[in-house]
Amino acid sequence: MVVDFSEHADDFVKSKLPMKIIITDFYFGLIPRIDAMLFPLFVFLSVIFFTSKMAGRSEIIAILSSGVSFMRLLLPYWIGSIILAASLWAAYQYIVPNANRKWADFEAKYISPGGENSGTYKSNIYFRIDSNAYAGIRGYDTAYKTGNTFFLYRFSNNKLIYNLRASNFSWDSVSNKWKLQQVMERDFGAITENIRYSDSLSVSYNFKPRDLRRDDYLKDQMATPELNEFINLEKNRGSEMLSSLLVERYNRDAIPVSVIILTFIGAILSTRKVRGGSGVHLAIGVIISVFYILFSRFSIVFATKGNFTPLLASWIPNIIFGILAVYLYRKAPK
């Protein structure tokens, strides 16, 4: 938070907003995002810290010597990690997306307002509506939900059968339809062509203002039911951003599971009494954390930029470290 505040201090001063608004509208949105991202590592290092303290005082040796099995010793860790994982899972489904929306709206309004690079204005948008129709937009303002130069082409058997052009368009929130202005429609027959002009036309398409916000943070701002609906629409359109959407969806289930796996690994590593105490355990924990992050980042990049399966990309760090957890459990002194 200190680093982020130092980067945005000038922007906050220029916005002339009171500190209360900055905290509630910006940092109340950013903090859940950062917490959710680092939560598994927080739990992992916490487990290592207090378990290694117990091992350093020979408490683990005393527990095992009294006849308590190693699996019974790990039972509180299982219960605690499942509760924490369930809390993180619920946060990823609803709380974190709402916080991301609050943070992104503040940034678009006060930190980077106006202009094509602000995140509110999009230009030259081209997308597929369905298997036979394609649309394009010259410019669109995501804040005001208005745009200019909308066109649509519909094909049948590789032949153009319909074309629509509108000079301006806007979203009608009352009827949940797009309102087109200065519209020209052309129907192409085998020989003839039919042209129609309209000053105003209300049309229902299968895309909404949300779908035109083609920014990198759009997927992070959707609650899971909304994200599932958006993924299905993008599948029908053959969207290029489908891989990143699927990775985001699968990560919302995979990351909470990592809390259980990392807790298990941390507990097993820290129960062994070693020379150097908790410092050695924490050092090992940091190294494992770095490798986990590397595996996670590499798999996501391969999924979004290459041909790696999004489902496997999201779960492969858990699979690898789950195998590591089983191996450490078998080798742990009991």
Provide the CATH number for the domain formed by 121-208 in this structure: 2.30.30
pLDDT at 37 over 60: yes
State pTM to two decimals.
Answer: 0.74
Q: What is the mean pLDDT of residues 14-23?
A: 84
What single letter denotes the amino acid at residue 174? Answer: V
Residue type, 176: N
Name the E strands within 28-176.
Answer: 121-128, 133-141, 146-156, 159-172
Q: Which two tokens stand for residue 53?
A: 């303290």
CA angle, 233 as apex, 228 and 235 as ends, to 5°? Answer: 95
Crossing angle (nearest 10°) for helices 242-270 and 310-331: 10
Mean pLDDT score of the chain: 85
Per-residue pLDDT at 98 exceeds 60: yes
Angle at 29 between CA 49 and CA 34, to 5 degrees: 30
Query: For 156, phi and psi rounded to 5 degrees?
Result: -145, 125
Residues in the chain: 334
116 touches 93 (CB < 8 A): no
- What pairs with residue 136 in β-bridges? 126, 151
pLDDT at residue 112, rounded to an integer: 66
3-state secondary structure of 34: helix
Q: Phi and psi (nearest 5°) for 117?
A: -95, 10
> Distance (Å, rounded) from C-alpha 66 to C-alpha 62?
6
pLDDT digits (tens, 9 = 90+) for 132-188: 888 989 988 877 888 999 999 999 888 899 999 999 999 988 888 999 999 999 999
The DSSP call for residue 217 is T
Please write the tens of the pLDDT for every residue from 270-294. 888 776 666 777 788 788 888 888 8
Pair of tokens at residue 51: 């378990």
Domain ranges in the chain?
2-112+241-331, 121-208
